[in-house]
Amino acid sequence: MSISIEYFNDVWHNVNRRTGGILMKIFKNLENGSVVEGLLMDVVPNGYRELKAGEVDAAQEKHVPQVSVEDNKLKVVVGSVEHPMLEAHYITNIWVEYSDGTVDRAGLVPGMKPEYVFDPKGRTGKVTVYEYCNLHGLWKNEIEL
Ligand SMILES: [Fe+2]
């Protein structure tokens, strides 16, 4: 089966509206290297590859997202040793996937701190946090709210 990224995202958002969300996957564009989140499906959009957390062998301490709760907010820092944020090597995105299937995403750029504070807005349960390094791929961690 073949599917375009536009159709893919349309389906994903429609399903989220109907059901409150389902599990997320993260895909990399094979031409320009950009990454995008999408619906759990048996197909991968045309021109994309599914990323798996930890599939690149690199320093865990610089990549595994560190997650803490402060004042009802979710603070994510990459990682236990701060990850570089240089033009050639940086964290492009951080995603937070809540147990109800909804997802928050933060886009980062070089020069920023490799961290972001998310507002769970009262959501509870398991939270899976992903980050993507342009050189070292996708990494994740989990926390219970
Ligand atoms: Fe990295």
Give per-residue pLDDT as tens, 85-143: 999 999 999 999 888 878 888 889 999 999 999 999 999 999 999 999 999 999 999 99
Rounded Cα gap, residues 102 and 36, in angstroms: 15
Domain ranges of the chain: 1-51, 53-145
Distance between Cα 119 and ligand 1 center (Å): 25
- At residue 6, the pLDDT reads 65
- At residue 3, the pLDDT reads 60
For range 2-24, the mean pLDDT: 57
Distance between Cα 40 and ligand 1 center (Å): 26
Distance between Cα 85 and ligand 1 center (Å): 9
Distance between Cα 19 and ligand 1 center (Å): 35
Distance between Cα 84 and ligand 1 center (Å): 7
For range 67-85, the mean pLDDT: 96
Q: Average pLDDT, whole number, for the chain?
A: 86
Strand blocks (E) in the chain: 24-29, 35-39, 48-50, 65-70, 73-78, 91-97, 103-107, 115-118, 126-133, 137-144
Fold (topology level) of 53-145: Immunoglobulin-like (2.60.40)
